[in-house]
Structure 1
Amino acid sequence: MAASSSHGGCGGGDDDNEPFLLGFVVAKLVGLRHYSSTINGRESVSLVREPLNRYDANAIAAHNRRGEKVGHVDRDTARVLAHLLDTRLVAATHAIVPKHPSGKNRPKPFKLPCQVHLFAHPASADAVRSAVSGSGLSLIDTGHAEFSFSESAIVQEQTKKSDRDVDRLFARVVKEGEGRIKPMEAPEDVVVSDLFEHQKDALGWLVHREESCDLPPFWEEDKDGGYQNVLTSQKTKERPLPLKGGIFADDMGLGKTLTLLSLIARSKARNVVAKKGKGTKRRKVDDAGQESRTTLVVCPPSVFSSWVTQLEEHTEAGSLKVYMYHGERTKDKKELLKYDIVITTYSILGIEFGQEGSPVNDIEWFRVILDEAHVIKNSAARQTKAVIALNAQRRWVVTGTPIQNSSFDLYPLMAFLKFEPFSIKSYWQSLIQSPLVKGDKAGLSRLQNLLGAISLRRTKETESGSKSLVNIPPKTVVACYIELSSEEREYYDQMELEGRNKMLEFGAGDSIMRNYSTVLYFILRLRQLCNDVALCPLDMKAWLPGSSLEDVSKNPELLKKLASLVDDGDDFDCPICLSPPSKTVITSCTHIYCQTCILKILKSSSSRCPICRHALSKEDLFIAPEVQHPDEDGSGNLGSDKPLSSKVQALLELLKRSQKEDPLSKSVVFSQFRRMLILLEGPLKRAGFNILRLDGSMSAKKRSDVIKRFAMVGPDTPTVLLASLKAAGAGINLTAASTVYLFDPWWNPGVEEQAMDRVHRIGQKKAVKVVRLLVKGSIEERILELQERKKRLISGAFGRKGGAKENKEMRLEELRLMMGISSPAWGR
């Protein structure tokens, strides 16, 4: 089961483990006169650890909201905070300078008071309180008489502002004039293709967002000539910088890449004009004295080929200089600034995050575009932190699926956009996430207004569903329900009964979470049984984990079994970073993490398993053994001597019927199990189909070659593509096909939508048919139920009015739902 359905935290993502506000300590910001940058009253301050500071190893620098250093936290407070930050006892801090006396003739102060708000996970709260009180500092918590004097927006939300006042402010945030933005043409000297009307509208909106000098949302000019954030009460003398960028969330297949290329081309054209003239307007220049208008595009590796193809198809050859920052790459930032576009991947940024000499980190980019930006939905992942830290004048989030599991997926996007105060996790939790989780209608209304202020989203069809936004043939989605054979049903029912009994044996939620890997193992096997018994070991008892918690250090077979849990499924995520595990580690208590993630946890004072709270040391961590796949020789002979499963037989019948109707028609078969794709090769080849396979184990070049071969037309060209849902779900054009088979359902409806829309997109000439293959009376039907809950959340978030309230998505309830166990929380 996909761990990504939760929203962060070391304990698996449940709300009970989310960091909460313990209180605040009053510190001093010192050395202010040593820095030219200034700070105003009620201004948020970023605290940055400087462990290599030659004067004080505990040093903590203070930066103003523009990212400029203004001073340091006083030594006594820094000594305490440094320990809390370095050991990760404190999950987050938020500092703010209270209102202080100001005047034209007042000299710049040597020091200023500063409130440092401390956020901690429940398990660390007592340790933080003890560390603060033991140091002589005073923690002003919620029960303290002075707590109401906090300048934090969260505290003001709790103690001063009523919900109705806050909701009224959110209702005002959408700019009325933005509905009248004029459409815009692409520069003809760069872009050779004509834009559709919806792309011209989008280009006009993108340009308006980049060139508008409007105050950021929630900021207003006050009577004294200064500026105030009406939501947080923060004040400043200097005009806040405009929010140049936003969320470009058009439906997949509507040509977002071409629209973005038009935006980049327009910047280049304006730059040429600016260099010819002698304007006095100050512009950002690079080290060579030339104005830099380089755009950094960050995307998954699978999208590289899409950008290259779009450039070749839609722009004048050589009009835009492009550098692929991948593989062997330059370290010279002056070299990169010679290009109009630099394309790199999220993983490259993650690798170079914090590295000295990395040019991508040193450059102030004219524009950064995050393509398929839902990749950074996990705020704890290294690559997410890397993109948030990028220095850029204009920032764009581009994704057709901005929400995949929960509204918390949007928080990292806000952090990247620098949209204050929502770029601070605690503010997002208080103002948006908590009301949504509680089912408060006001929470959904706030989210809608917020997205309405900074995002553009159009779907292929109008709200009535009767008219297509662009001239793309229609897409229909049908379900093909399959009955298992008596033998398959016996295997399936026995496994499901064992799984339910195990869940009931675990009893309470805490016990289930302690046995999380065991439950996931059952769910994985049930899903595989729906596809083909050949995916599972034939010895039934070998499938079943023990009746109690087992220690993998004494059971190498269990270690192999748990390693196969990660390898067999395309959808297992590390519960800490919510990304596919990198260097998979299995703990002695049978839980699975990235090596980097769990080692960070062990460095903290808790040193416990985040899921079951079992005490851990480095000796309790085991590298997952490599899983051998003797069947992956490309011959497609896996299980060739066994009868075909009911689902494989159904697929073959559907493919034969489609081929009979149109011999040249092409189909894509998606599965999340790579071994299932390999198993399908044999039967399809024997049935006479010319097939190709596309999965995550292939290099970017090999994937690109497969896509090009699949697009070829003719009597002897491939007609069926067997594709991994993740490998082919983003940035790939598969319009050569007109039929899509979803061989097994995915937890996340957004990922399935991405897969369908690789086929149903601009350039498709035929009506597209999507067929879901579903086993009756199985876990697959329950997965669809979970999908529907998530779809209602996604459609509601971007709605202008009304919408379904968000259900509390807890991993525990999802586990119970998958095993078919009734739970009051799901209204069953």
Structure 2
Amino acid sequence: MHDLTITPQGHLLVREEPLGASKQEPSKGLLEAYHASAARGMLYSASEAADAALPPSFEFARSITRLYLTTLCKATTAESGESVPEIPPPAADLDRAVLQAPPMTGLEYLTSEVLATWWRDLDSLVRGEIAKHSGGVSGYLRERNPHWRFVGRVTFHLAENKQNPDYPFAFLATFANGLTPQGKVRHEPLGRALQQYAGERNRAAMLNLLLPVSRAAESSELVQRLVDSGEIYSPLAWSPREAYEFLRAIPLFESSGLIVRVPDWWHAQKPPRPRVSVKIDSKNTAGINVDAMLQFSVDMSLDGETLAPDEIAQLLESSGGLVPLKGKWVEVDREKLQEALKHWKEVERDVRREGLSFFEGMRLLSGANVLEGEEEELPEATREWSGLTAGPGLDAVLENLRSPGTQREAAPPGLKTELRPYQRTGYGWLRFAARLGLGVCLADDMGLGKTIQVISLLLDLKRDGPNKASLLVVPASLIANWKSELAKFAPSLSLAVTHPSEVSAGKISPDTADSFDLIVTTYGMLVRQDWVTQHRWRLVVLDEAQAIKNSGTKQTRAAKELAADSRIAVTGTPVENRLSDLWSLFDFLNPGLLGTAKQFGSFVKRLQSASTPSFEPLRNLVRPYVLRRLKTDKRVISDLPDKTEVKAYCALSKHQAALYQHTVEELARQLEHADGLQRRGIVLAQLMRLKQICNHPAQVAGTGDYAADRSGKFRRLAEIAEEVAARQEKALVFTQFREIAEPLAEFLATIFGRPGLVLHGGTSVKKRKEFVDQFQSEDGPPFFVLSLKAGGTGLNLTAAAHVIHFDRWWNPAIENQATDRAFRIGQKKNVLVHKFVCRGTVEERIDEMIARKRRVADEALGGSDGGEVLLTEMDNDTLLKFVKLDLHQATDG
């Protein structure tokens, strides 16, 4: 199946998705148009394929095109030979369209600026084609599709006539009779056309002029009366009721090809309306939290100003239509207004009796009628004449959640680093939400420092005193990363790990847990330790929270059973692109906000099946609880370093650990009877073997069986690659071993869903150039596996946002040289460097030595053989201690 994807650069691309992603498959013609360009695909979808059923992503792009073509028809009267002016992007409409977008890959990159770029590309294409068309705008659109026809010669005018209180409106029909010397359309009364087009020879021109009027008369009784009586050719004085009938029919007139000009207060067919004003606020002026009950009040207002009782009575006693109120004309449908008032008064009585919870209030404010039966409670007429707003107290809470820049807190005491401005914002936002008891998701891009923001929050909670411990749940592969970060940035936090890789794991119990600030466990351990799910935690943090996207797994169910004062999910993977993932995440964060899975599924179906599909209610409902910053955001990237290096700690599988231990024992036996060059050769050979074991047992055995579950590095690579793929970013993967390059590429292809590239010493110069060009293209291969020596120099691969050193070359200069294939002149993005290290092995000890003595290491480990040269000079005992296996640290239990 095919679907549309938004790239990190904001472009639309067609990509194949797994079967079942959508019931509709775009036509061959539409796909060919999109392959030519996004603008051609969008135009094709709203013209040749205007009536076709399309997948949601294609339908969304078509809705933007429909908006453009409608604007084009209203904005120009250009005929054959005349140039069509640029149609500027409508900022307000595009802002709203961003909220209405359906879940799709790359949705996190969608902004009104991106939509404006699509709009300009479409405008450039259409105006270029119109310029070559003999029929002008009308002929061009009529040729593309009969629905998009526009003649634009006749204009209906409605103006106020304040001199006559009984007939305060004036109507006039005109026709465009050429241009003024200033280049503006010259309007003349339509009656004059009868004189100008008199005579048989002008009969065809007259019929063409009146064709839009004739079309409008077919559907409008008002126009039919004007035509039958001949009044359409004369100026008319109208009552408010007649003017209202005319104003309501504007969409019909415009679809017939007429131009309509009305008073400014009829804003885009959305005139001022009195509305039933519903206000939801906190009951307690001292504050609010997730367990608080909200207050609910009903009134009536106009443009946000509460109406007095006598003004409300005037509206409800009027005959409807246009009514003068507060010095302006307002639109009133008395029956619908009364119906809306009755509905909300009934709700107000129910709230007084049963109360209104925080989440119920959030659903009402967002318009997301998630729970079963809510859609019948709020009919279209009621929504149309109602306005729900948050009162001052609740509004302040929501504003702080939606606009986290207001929460830029100073770093908490005990933090051993300087927070970047956007990290202070994130920490302040987490702190604000945690103290409200709300569950929130920190969904920053990989490399923006989600860990340090959470650590800051943990230090802040420590200031509350020795009350309750917090719980951190991570994949087993990230235990070492978190321990390292906590020790480095928050040494004052007391920590315990409940995992078999930790010697002290068995000493943690419900009775001792609260003596620590933080307990760290894994998703796998949640299902093995009942006490963890039964204990009450101050804060529960799920790192790599995409681990609970499948609501049916045991670890997901266990995570949702955790009891805590507040909850945080941390993930670098987009959370809004797949609705089932979104529901499962929020079922952990704020249970009940999105209803049950069944209720949520029904709600989504209602959104999708609406006459105008829009996901705006869902977006409004979840937006306050998700903080997502992208590396592409100029407000963030200006504060980022050029490149960020992180350690990717990996555990060994049981098979790897056994092979590693056997190799160390074999080395010990061989060293007993070796010296000189023979000893040096043995050490180098066995060190190479240990490196290969850390990569994958199949590399040593030469069996070709590179099953992912047999290698901790392959499992860690999958975790990182999944996030890179979800962001549609690209990665370079370096290895010093040519033989593992192809297996790595085959494995990564299963993660990214499409093949990548492989470059090693045997790749020809011509192929190298072709591979670089392919990788650098926007829709090129998503990853590139390179042998360190072949790929370390002479390549410009700035399309990559990630560099992964799968195995470590123990000379830092060579590693840095390889990293600079991505980070070099022309790079416009922050580069994240992942250095793989197997815990409890020689890899970890070499990494520690390099970090501890970087300057010395550059000299001592220099040379073509890197760190191995230094290791051959160690005495037997020192060498064996250096390479020995720390089983507790090395395995994931």
Give the TM-score normalised by structure 1: 0.36
Q: Which has the higher contact order (CA 8 A, sep 6+)?
A: 1
Bigger radius of gyration, 1 or 2?
A: 2
